[in-house]
Amino acid sequence: MTNQDVVVSEMGISVGAALPGPGGPALFACRSAAAGAMSMRQTYLDLAAAAKAARSASCTWAEAMRASSPTRSSRSAADVDEFTAWVVSSSSSVVVVVLLLATVGAVLARKHPSALSKFEQIAGASKGKKIVMFLDYDGTLSPIVADPDAAYMSDAMRAAVREVAKRFPTAIVSGRCRDKVRNFVGLSELYYAGSHGMDIKGPSSNPESVLCQPASEFLPMIDEVYKALVEKTKSTPGAKVENNKFCLSVHFRCVDEKRWNALGEQVKAVIKEYPKLKLTQGRKVLEIRPSIKWDKGKALEFLFESLGFANSSDVLPVYIGDDRTDEDAFKVLRKRGQGLGILVSKFPKETNASYSLQDPAEVMEFLLRLVEWTRKPSSSSMMIRPRVS
C-alpha cells in the first residue's frame, strides 16, 4: 500500500501519540470535521498526516515494521489493548477522535464497496468489453502463511484461475521470483510478472512469448546483497531472506517482535552500502529493490501494450491485489480512467482501488462468479484469447 494506507485502528494509536493536550492538531481536525467545516476525506488525510508526523519524530524500525504489517491477531490483542488503554487514560474530548475515526472507517468501506455485493454493477460495466485479468499471488490467490515457501494455493483456486484464463488474458503479478510463483500456480497458459514486475514472461507454449527484464544489470548486485543479508541476519531467529532474482525479501513474520528493531537495523546496515538499491516495507517483510522507475503499475502497462490493448477503449483491465505494491497498479488504472482495481483486505484502508474483497476465499468466489456470468446468454462481454505482439 501507499504511505496513505493507514488502517483506522492504527491511526487511532498513532494519533494518540500526537495528542499531548486538547490543542493537538489531530484533535483540531476532528473537531472541525464534527462541526462540518471540512470533508470526511480531508479529516482522514489530516489525521494520517498527524500520525505520520508523530511517527517521524520518534519512530523506531520496529514501530515502522509493525505499522506496515497489520495482522488479525495483533489487532485483536495487543493493538486493541493499547488502543483501549489510550482511550481510557485520555480526556473525554479525545473520545471525539475515536468516534470520528470509526466514522472514517465506515466512509472508506462505502467508498470501496465489496466487489461481490456490487458484482452486477461490475458486470454491467464489463458488457461489450474485453476483460484482461491481473492477479497478485500472496494474500490474493493464496493465504498469508508463516513460511513463505509454503504459500500454496488451493486446487479449487487453481481451477478457478484456469477457468478465468480460458476466457480472458490473465497475468500473475507478484513480488516473488517469477519461476517460484509460476511453480506455485502451476498454469502454463498465464503471463507471469515476478520481482514486482521486473521479470515478465508470457505463456510457455509460445516460443516468441513476451519477455521483459528492465533490471538485468542489477543481478550481480542483488546476488551479492543476498549473501550479505543472509550472513548479517543469521543471528536473528525466525528471519528469512528470500532471493526473488531481481529483488530480495527479508521476512520477519516468525521473528519475535522484540527483535524487529534490531533486524531492521541489520538490513539497513547492509543496504546503506548500495545506494542503487532501495528498501521498502510490506506485510511482515522488508523488500530490497533496484532504484529504477519500474513497479507493478509499469508491468501492467507493459503487458497491456504487449497484448495490443494500449489504445483500445473497449478493454476492461481488472487488477486484484492485497499489498501496498499493488497500489502502483491501482494508480495506473485510476489515471487511465479505465479498469477496476480491487483491494483484498479485511480492514478499511485508503486505497486507489475501486472495490474490495476480504480474503482469497472471496477472490475465488468473485472469479467463479465472473466465469459463470460469461456463460449467461445475456452476457455480451467479449471473451478473448491471450495474444502477444
| Average pLDDT over all residues of the chain | 78
Assess whether pLDDT exceeds 50 at residue 377: yes
Rg (CA), the chain: 22
Give residue 106's pLDDT: 58
Residue 27 has a pLDDT of 32
pLDDT of amino acid 378 = 61
pLDDT band (50, 70, 90) for residue 211 = confident
Choose the weakest-confidence range: 132-136, 209-213, 251-255. 209-213
What was the pLDDT predicted at 8? 30
Q: Where residue 234 falls among pLDDT bands split at 50, 70, 90?
A: very high
Beta pairing class for 285-290 and 248-251: antiparallel
Angstrom distance (rounded) from CA 324 to CA 283: 8
| Residue 9: pLDDT over 70 | no
What pTM was computed for the model?
Answer: 0.73
Structure confidence at residue 112 (pLDDT): 82
Residue 141 has pLDDT above 60, yes or no: yes
pLDDT tens, 320-375? 999 989 999 999 999 999 999 999 999 888 899 999 999 999 999 999 999 999 98
Q: φ, ψ for residue 194 (rounded to 5)?
A: -95, 180
- Alpha helix ranges (H) inside 90-177: 95-111, 119-126, 155-167
Q: What is the pLDDT of residues 157-182, one digit of tens each?
A: 999 999 999 999 999 999 999 999 99
Long-range contacts (CB closer than 8 Å, 24 or more residues apart) made by 213-219 = 213/246, 214/292, 214/294, 214/298, 215/246, 215/290, 215/292, 215/294, 218/246, 218/276, 218/277, 218/290, 218/292, 219/245, 219/246
pLDDT band at 59 (very low <50, low <70, confident <90, very high): low
Q: What is the pLDDT of residues 82-101, one digit of tens each?
A: 333 333 444 444 555 555 55
Residue 60 has pLDDT above 80, yes or no: no
Q: Tell me what pLDDT residue 40 has.
A: 47
What gap in Å lies between CA 287 and CA 291, rounded to an integer? Answer: 12
Contacts of 158 (CB under 8 A, 6+ apart): 185, 186, 187
Which candidate, 148, 291, 174, 295, places its Cα nearest to that of 221? Answer: 291
Q: Is the pLDDT of residue 5 over 70?
A: no
254-291 pLDDT tens trace: 999 999 999 999 999 999 999 999 999 888 899 999 99
Residue 4 has pLDDT above 50, yes or no: no
Q: What percent of the chain has pLDDT over 90?
A: 58
Q: Could you report the per-residue pLDDT of 188-209, keeping only the tens digit for each?
A: 999 999 999 999 999 977 766 7
Region 144-150 average pLDDT = 90
Residue 114, strand partner residues? 356
pLDDT in tens, 293-332: 999 999 999 999 999 998 888 999 999 999 989 999 999 9
One-letter amino acid identity for 150? A
Residue 275 is given by DSSP the state T
User: Percent of the chain beyond pLDDT 70?
Assistant: 68
Q: What pLDDT is recorded for position 26?
A: 36
Residue 105 confidence (pLDDT): 53
- Give the three cell numbers for residue 106: 465506515
Q: How far is CA 305 from CA 163, 200, 310, 337, 343, in A?
A: 24, 13, 5, 16, 24
Q: What whole-number distance in Å separates Cα of residue 367 and Cα of residue 273? A: 44
Count CA within 13 A, CB hemisphere, residue 116: 13
Instruction: Please give the pLDDT value at position 389.
Output: 41
Q: So what's the pLDDT on residue 359?
A: 97
Give the H or E element holding residue 194: strand 191-194
> Shortest CA distance to 24 belongs to which of 35, 14, 39, 10?
14
261 close to 60: Cβ distance less than 8 angstroms: yes
